[in-house]
Structure 1
Amino acid sequence: MSTANMARWAHTHNIPLRPRGGASHHTALRAPEQATDAPAILRAAMTSSNARQRLERFAAALPCSTVTEAARALGIHQSKLTTQINRLEKNRGRPLIERAERGRRMQRTPFSRKLAAAAKRLTGLGGRL
């Protein structure tokens, strides 16, 4: 059976499929369940199996002066960290940081402070924030 036919069959029978290149099927299916256990402010951000990683990286970026500096400290590319922060901002519908400009540090928004505090309460992130 081709991939397209399998996807069509699964859609017809209301069977969710994991996204291509994503985590395991079990992990992808558990993401919405885990979101209901998260604090209300984090639920919209917990939309995929990589949500915890995005929150951890966002929290790690907060004390840094720039996104580039934060990415270096995390050992990832700046574009990847920027993409993850942008996805969090899109999921929450609000800006989380004011990007650094020449001669000015990256600043947290008041909403990002609330988000970081909620992430501390989320199991597994408390010690890292």
Structure 2
Amino acid sequence: MTVNSASARYEGLGKDGKGHIWTARGALDGEPYGFASRFEDGPGTNPEELIAAAHAACFTMALSFGLARAGHTDGQLDTRAEVTLDKDGEGFRVTKSALTLTAKVPGIAADDFARLATDAEANCPISKLLDCEITLAHTLEA
């Protein structure tokens, strides 16, 4: 079992509050977040951006390992995740995570690549965690 941790502090309340996020390994060290970075164009990050980063990273790593298990030894995988936050009653809900993958994997057939990419999307731990629609678009470049 692997356990990872992060923490957040929010000083002030509502729109006027300001938050900061820390990760145990130091990748985020007091990174600011708040209303402006979540719902406007303010500086800092927001929870949905962090979910998008986690989903892109998890899926890409899962596909990398799937390709290695299939005998491939070289390649480049570039994934973008776009997480959608929609109004849900009195609050909000993440309703979609759209993964867009561009890959270069020498010697792989397009149908094998598509199968491995679909399997990675379905089985990466972050895909399993998310309770929303997940879409995957992929392009295999020569």
TM-score normalized with structure 2 length: 0.29
If each structure's strand is expressed as a fraction of its own residues, which one has the higher value? Answer: 2
If each structure's helix is expressed as a fraction of its own residues, which one has the higher value? Answer: 1
TM-score normalized with structure 1 length: 0.31
